[in-house]
Amino acid sequence: MVGKTRTEASLDQPKAEEFGFDIDHALASVVALQSEIPEDAFTASVLGVKRAGSGVVIRDGLVLTIGYLVTEAETVWLTTADGRLVPGHALAIDQETGFGLVQTLERVDLPVLPIGRSREAKPGDPVIVAAGGRRQFTRAHVIGKHEFAGYWEYYLDEAIFTAPAHPFWGGAAVIGADGKLIGIGSLHIDQSGEERGRRDANMVVPIDLLAPVLDDLLKYGRASKPPRPWLGVYCAESDDKVIIAGVADGGPADAAGLRRGDVVAAVGDSPVGELGQFYRKVWSCGAAGVEIPLAIARDGRAMRVRIESTSRTSLFRKPRLH
């Protein structure tokens, strides 16, 4: 999701002698991205109709970014490090990982950033977090690798967390010390650390999640396996409780009568107290379309509801396949 605030961060200009790889060559692979979304698109009210971030060239004419920047995009424009404006189109979005792919509509002749191995990254490792357009980046470190549960029905078994946070994190390229791509920036968050307490950090989607879905994304615009059931809820976790913070207008939870403030006590007969646990139990019920039984508490009263799930993308404008 797109954050509402930008954090302060020191943006550097590259000095090639400081790195063990060609930093200028790597940064030339990173592009700025702008997209426009129709006002009547499903995500327009949440993510906006004008979105901006970054992407990185991973194959000739193929740019990897974070999916929310191009979800339901009608137009996409890329800006290279030398200021060229290039049209693109949203080729694919993977709802599970959060990755998005953009195909350039003109030849760009930009270097391809090699793919690294995010599983080999470990806390303390130095990284470069690079946003497109102005060849500016932050020097950062991996500060953690652990699960991440997002309020919009999103979950990763193991995300990467880096600090200090880049102020333009959406779609930013996270580059390891060997000059290879290890992840794509997704969020700005407050991250807890044992030694330094809370600090601004970026949540990064690990690049290892791309390989298993890349062929499907290129062929079909999505993963070929059945989509997960989507409820259309925005959730928060507090005091070992999963609380409904809002529902998507017209979504399954809205149709079933869920309200802001409802507490999810169980999926079926399985109690839940954490966001990740809640999502895993919902997804274990079957593919999109399956009925999800929930036990909830509302105003001190226990209730049971059954929600007819759907695919998250069923209400989206579809990406154009060329």
Record the pTM: 0.92
For residue 10, the model assigns a pLDDT of 56
Domain range annotation of the chain: 1-224, 233-315
Region 138-160: mean pLDDT is: 97
CATH number of 233-315: 2.30.42.10
Region 105-115: mean pLDDT is: 95
> HEC states along 225-290?
CCCCCECCEEEEEECCEEEEEEECCCCHHHHHCCCCCCEEEEECCEECCCHHHHHHHHHCCCCCCC
Residues 6+ apart with CB under 8 A from 258: 233, 244, 247, 294, 296, 305, 307
Q: How far apart are the first and last CA of the chain?
A: 27
What's the topology of domain 1-224? Thrombin, subunit H (2.40.10)
Region 162-187: mean pLDDT is: 97
4-61 per-position pLDDT tens digit: 334 444 577 656 667 889 999 999 999 999 999 999 999 999 999 999 999 999 999 9
